[in-house]
Amino acid sequence: MKDSRARIERITRVNAHTLHVDLAVEDDAVKLMKPGQSMLVRVGDMHGEQQLWTPYLREQWWMIGTVSRDVVRVELPFTAALQTGQTVQLLAPVGQPYRFRRNLGHVLLIAYNAMPSPLVTMVPSLLKNNVNLTLVLMGTARSYDTQTLPPEVEVIRADDAMEWDAMVRTISETDQTFIVVAQDDELMRFHEVLDVIQKRRPNIAENVLWGVFRPPLPCGVGACDACALRVKDGIKLVCVDGPAFDLTQVK
Ligand code: FES
């Protein structure tokens, strides 16, 4: 993991909730990040432009694709106050790539009260490997604009009870499920989604159901223990071992 800089090349307003920001990056490690890995970002440059200290901690940004050889695209909530030409400082890559099973046929992505950006990072590579993808949007995630997703991705908006037509088939036929939830209380939110899934598919095996954890990451390098997560075989750090953890193993 390295500190590097990037320049904001372009900002596109996707809808009332979402921005796509194109970053010209200097470090090859950023361009080579794999799905699951992210960057911790502070707007400004310690050697030039004044750094912004609101928010105080670096923000976690997720790369949803590449635009050209040196430009990557990240997806942010519309609240982000950014300007074209600004410099940002990056700490990347943070975390481990998602651990996919061999012989994947279908992957289910679920976003509950959260933008699905951490899940969207895996869409290009899975489609390239002919994996079928379904994205289920629950709660406030239902307002996410999916027009920028490839048409091959099946998009489902769940109802207020977090249910949808043919959900038994969707849940039982999938090889792996990745879930992202609101950061207000991640363990509780994962539990809510787990309840919905386990009613339709009890006795879920290991390595099927993965939660993508996004606690605040003060250091991002495993030095402060602020992101510690209790799992069956001990304590893991989200910034080093995560962000995805097998939900059957999380205590
Ligand atoms: S953020 Fe400091 S140990 Fe993970």
Question: Structurally, how many domains does the chain consist of?
Answer: 2
- Does the Cβ of 239 fall within 6 Å of ligand 1? yes
The CATH number covering residue 163 comes to 3.40.50
**Domain-terminating residue out of 94, 124, 140:** 94
Q: In terms of domains, do 164 and 217 share one?
A: yes
- Predicted local confidence at residue 49, as pLDDT: 56
Q: For every residue of the chain, which 3-state class applies, written as one string?
A: CEEEEEEEEEEEECCCCEEEEEEEECCHHHHCCCCCCEEEEEECCCCCCCCCCCCCCCEEEEEEEEEECCEEEEEEECCCCCCCCCEEEEEEEECCCCCCCCCCCEEEEEEECCCCHHHHCCHHHHHHCCCEEEEEEEHHHHHCCCCCCCCCCEEEECCCCCCCCCHHHHHHHCCEEEEEECCCCHHHHHHHHHHHHHHHCCCCCCCCEEEECCCCCCCCCCCCCCCEEEECCEEEEHHHHCCEEECCCEC
Q: In terms of domains, do 76 and 182 share one?
A: no
For residue 157, tell me if it sits in a domain. Answer: yes
Q: Measured in angstroms, how far is the CA atom of residue 224 from the centroid of ligand 1?
A: 5
pLDDT tens sequence for the chain (251 residues): 778 889 999 999 888 888 999 999 988 888 889 999 999 998 876 555 566 666 677 899 999 988 988 999 999 988 767 889 989 999 989 999 999 998 899 999 999 999 999 999 999 999 999 999 999 999 999 999 898 899 999 999 999 999 999 899 899 889 999 999 999 999 999 999 999 999 888 888 889 999 999 999 999 999 999 999 999 999 999 999 999 999 999 98
- Does the Cβ of 227 fall within 6 Å of ligand 1? yes
For residue 251, tell me if it sits in a domain. Answer: no
Domain region containing 149: 106-246
Give the nearest ligand 1 atom to 240 CA.
Answer: 4
- Does the Cβ of 228 fall within 6 Å of ligand 1? no
Give the nearest ligand 1 atom to 215 CA.
Answer: 1
Q: In terms of domains, do 44 and 78 share one?
A: yes
Q: In terms of domains, do 50 and 113 share one?
A: no
For residue 38, tell me if it sits in a domain. Answer: yes
- Does the Cβ of 57 fall within 6 Å of ligand 1? no
Q: Measured in angstroms, how far is the CA atom of residue 172 from the centroid of ligand 1?
A: 35
- Does the Cβ of 226 fall within 6 Å of ligand 1? yes
- Does the Cβ of 229 fall within 6 Å of ligand 1? no
- pTM score above 0.85: yes
Q: In terms of domains, do 64 and 149 share one?
A: no
For residue 160, tell me if it sits in a domain. Answer: yes
Q: For residue 128, which amino acid is it?
A: K
- Predicted local confidence at residue 76, as pLDDT: 93
For residue 101, tell me if it sits in a domain. Answer: no
For residue 43, tell me if it sits in a domain. Answer: yes
Q: Measured in angstroms, how far is the CA atom of residue 208 from the centroid of ligand 1?
A: 26
